[in-house]
Chains A and B, each alone.
Chain A
């Protein structure tokens, strides 16, 4: 987790881009809810694309947030496939239940401040700062 006075961010690592993007999504949901208490009761297909890897990461996370906001679902696991600057994924989770889930803050937006997707140790590192 990254600390920022106004909000919160995450740094995700992975041996492939797909893994890095899956971890970034996991990190985003970990800010919102204790993922240990989330069941994989539902799944959603999500697709995203972008002009470059940073935009792809932004759009991927925004697609997920849109499902969360309009359907009330939170996700804990992601099967991600990245081809160039497009992505297809399956996200597993369930309906948010304030009575049962331990809540953090609601992520409302993905900022471009300090964002990076860079190669690191044969894999990748992604950094994202969220608007909470």
Chain B
């Protein structure tokens, strides 16, 4: 195993670099945002080697970047950011991930812990019944082929027009909930088949829906602009993506890219990094299919939001409007986007891969919703179900160093299997209940895989980014109720 301490160069307490001569083929250095404690965790696995592998891809600019929640992925590390020049760079499905536009959404309420705590079991049960988890072959929305095409092209707007949401929801969704350039013809019949049965479902694994309460407000002025008023306020945090649809798109194009990479003579240190030039036919078709999957994911989160509001209405006998259930923000964390950035004094067009990383645009950026433009984009950082999650805001330095990107969560610290072994005999649901957190899940055995022990402490992750000037913490929320697929 590599002794990273001899290889990594310290930039400052929160920035470390692997020099460009660390391994043959690297075109740029790799940079890791971490403190000493997080680095010690990373030494156990191959994530750093993967950051270096990404640095070998054609057209990569500035650095192969790793956020503090980085962990061992396949091909790209999870928590990685890499920007390629559109002119001569590549796009890689592995740099987006299987769950295309997996992302998070935060919904505020004007309810307080005092209103919700006495009803939390009823509320969690209601959400568990209303929000489809997606087990089984048929989904909650029986779409025709033509309707599925429209979802692929229009994303969240398709749902909002059918009554599954509010107009305002679109304004505070990344990209307005619709990525341009989606082409249903670039999507396989198999992806359609998997997708049509799963639109409007949460899915399993690390996906969740949580009823949370604001625990700490770090920046009251910014928090107020995000409709977060004070500790005790109840919010809803959602994490899910494009389900089997996105997985199939990724799987289909991994095969396409493997052939393409050989054809364009691109040397790959790992087959999961398979890629093609952005300007090639393969690259363009992938981006068109990826956009379709991204729009599917936004429609999915929008539909679930509708059921979250309905569940609250059912339990509290008030309208969602009366309970102030506004969408605060929806942000993607598995995506490749064509963006304009300033680099070495010039404007360049880049394909920014964010694999387990979110956008974190600062105040003034035109892609920040108008409502928040003078303060910056909300950054949603879920932790594990036993501890807490964070709301942060993008800072100018992110634009200068990370292509306007930040972390996407806590990051795993041990494998699913290791977590189960560690917690053998422990009733995780019971343990959470004892600390006042109500959990409902479809697969009780899998709960251990998602327990606090399986993850890094998300507080240390967001603190590193705050100290590095990438994002600033706004509020911390703790869970009251958790729903797992």
Contacts and interface: CB of A to CB of B under 8 A. Distances in A.
Given A55-B255, A71-B137, A98-B135, A6 B71 contact: yes
Contacts of B71: 5-6
Interface stretch (A21-29, A81-89, A105-113): A105-113
Interface string A89-132: 00000000010001111101111111100000000000001011
Contacts of B270: 112-113
A39 interface: no
B387 interface: no
Nearest to B251: A109
B108 interface: no
A119 to B, nearest CB: 20
A62 B74 contact: no
Contacts of A70: 137, 193-194, 197
Contacts of A69: 137, 194, 197, 244
Contacts of A113: 73-75, 270-272
A24 B250 CA distance: 22
Contacts of B99: 108
A104 B446 CA distance: 6
A3 B72 contact: no
B443 A98 contact: yes
Given A66-B190, A72-B137, A105 B204 contact: yes
Contacts of B73: 6, 113
Contact of B204 (A55, A106, A112): A106
Contact of B98 (A1, A71, A104, A108): A108
A62 B254 CA distance: 13
B45 interface: yes
A6 B442 contact: no
Interface string B185-224: 0000010011001000000110000000000000000000
A80 interface: no
A8 to B, nearest CB: 6
Nearest to B137: A72
B413 interface: yes
Interface string A6-48: 1110000000000000000000000000000000000000000
B143 interface: no
Main DSSP-derived SS at the A contact region? loop
Contacts of A3: 415, 417-418
B136 A114 contact: no
Contact of A5 (B135, B274, B414): B414
Interface in A60-86: 62, 66, 69-72
A109 B98 contact: yes
B418 to A, nearest CB: 6
Contacts of B205: 105-106, 108, 132
A6 B76 CA distance: 12
B227 interface: no
B247 interface: yes
A8 B72 CA distance: 12
A102 B255 CA distance: 33
Contacts of B78: 6
A4 B415 CA distance: 5
B412 interface: yes
A98 B415 contact: no
A51 B262 CA distance: 13
A112 B247 contact: no
B98 A131 contact: yes
B412 A6 contact: yes
A43 to B, nearest CB: 18
Interface in B403-439: 412-418
B272 A111 contact: yes
A105 B255 contact: no
Contacts of B136: 72
Interface string B13-48: 000000000000000000000000000000001010
Interface in B253-306: 254-255, 258-259, 270-272, 274
B442 A105 contact: no
Contacts of A4: 72, 74, 415
Most buried by A among B78, B244, B414: B244
A3 B415 CA distance: 6
A80 to B, nearest CB: 21
Given A55-B255, A108-B98, A112-B272, A8 B443 contact: no
B449 interface: yes
A69 to B, nearest CB: 6
B445 interface: yes
B282 to A, nearest CB: 16
Interface in B152-168: none
B361 to A, nearest CB: 27
Contacts of A114: 74
Contacts of A115: 271
A55 B418 CA distance: 29
Contacts of A55: 255, 258
B446 A109 contact: no
A114 B251 CA distance: 16
Given A5-B72, A6-B71, 9 more contacts: A5-B71, A5-B414, A105-B449, A108-B247, A109-B247, A111-B272, A112-B74, A112-B75, A129-B74
Interface of B: 45, 47, 71-75, 78, 98-99, 135-137, 190, 193-194, 197, 204-205, 244, 247, 250-251, 254-255, 258-259, 270-272, 274, 412-418, 442-443, 445-446, 449
Listed from nearest, the 10 A-B pairs whose CB atoms lie closest are A113-B74, A112-B271, A111-B74, A113-B272, A3-B415, A5-B72, A109-B98, A112-B272, A131-B98, A5-B71
